[in-house]
Amino acid sequence: MDLNKQLQKRLKALMKQERMLDSQRRVAAASQVAQSSVNRILNNTQSATLDMVSSLAKAFKIKPDRYLLLDEEEAKVLSLFHDLDPALQKQCIEWMAAVAKKGSDNGS
């Protein structure tokens, strides 16, 4: 997966959705990332640093910031899991591990 391409795609989609952050200038001001860097990320001519990703995520109120690198559907699913009670998270992980083990035992 090309993370820069994914960031470019996600940033463009978020800018279309967020009325208050619909321009490079506004994104730059809200994120404290230079407007020229925002432009280069949108044109996929610059690799974003981890600090840039974190700052951009904060501007769009995306927590945790690494979710900015996921497409919208993936981020929704993970945020639902992230918001679960820790005991339920543990149950989900155990269930997924059991399903994966069963699949590998069956040669899948």
pLDDT of residue 31: 96
* % of the chain with per-residue pLDDT over 90: 42
CA distance 102 to 10: 35
Please determine, for residue 18, whether its predicted confidence score (pLDDT) is greater than 70: yes
CA distance 64 to 44: 23
Please compute the mean of the pLDDT values over residues 27-42 and round it to a whole number. Answer: 96
What are the DSSP E strand ranges found in 1-108? none
- The per-residue pLDDT for range 43-63, each reduced to its tens digit, is 999 888 889 999 999 999 887
CATH code for the domain in which residue 18 is found:
1.10.260
What is the domain extent for residue 9? 1-70
Question: Do 65 and 20 share a structural domain?
Answer: yes
Q: Quick one: 96 exposed, middle or buried, by C-beta within 10 A (0-12, 13-18, 19+)?
A: exposed
Q: What is the pTM of this model?
A: 0.67
Question: Do 37 and 62 share a structural domain?
Answer: yes
